[in-house]
Amino acid sequence: MSLEQKIISYLCTYGTTKETDLITYGVQRLGLSEEAMVKLIDEMVFSGRIERILHNELEPAVNYIKRGSLFPLEHELQALSDSLELNEASNQQIEKLREILQIAEAVAEKRMKRKLNAID
């Protein structure tokens, strides 16, 4: 299993995580230096495998890491279209699916925030 896969697995298991906790995991469990772990996180953010979320309600502000999309949005939309037995989704259908996915993502983020607040 690659280092990226281990990080994704960690995020799937524990959910949205403080960046500092993820760095600690990389140092303690993956045997990376702190600098190497930060570089790997930066690369994964750049590729969209994970996302950084700035929690600026805290002093000082804290970065959290969440799992990003495993597939580009266009591929997700095309897969949805294919599963509906459509040969090709129209622009209007794609836009509607995009709106649905954005709403679903917003709901999921709210639920995660509630979960995080309940833990604190």
Q: Does 59 share its domain with 95?
A: no
Q: Does 15 share its domain with 59?
A: yes
pLDDT for the residue numbered 12: 85
Q: Does 55 share its domain with 77?
A: no
Find the CATH number of the domain harbouring 65. Answer: 1.10.10.10
Query: Computed from CA positions of residues 113, 19, 50, 28, in that sequence, does the dihedral angle turn out positive or negative?
Result: negative
Look at 21 and 86; give whichever has higher pLDDT: 21
**Cα–Cα distance between 18 and 63 in angstroms, integer?**
6
Q: Does 1 share its domain with 23?
A: yes
Q: Which H or E run includes 50? A: strand 50-55
pLDDT tens digits for range 37-81:
999 999 988 888 889 998 888 788 889 999 886 565 565 566 656
Output the average pLDDT for the chain: 81
Task: Find the domain containing 64 and state its range.
Answer: 1-70
**Cα–Cα distance between 35 and 104 in angstroms, integer?**
35
Count of domains for the chain:
2
Mean of pLDDT values over 24-44: 95
Mean of pLDDT values over 99-103: 83
Instruction: Tell the burial category of 31 from Cβ atoms under 10 Å away from its Cβ (0-12, 13-18, 19+).
Output: exposed
Mean of pLDDT values over 12-35: 94
pLDDT for the residue numbered 17: 93
pLDDT for the residue numbered 20: 95
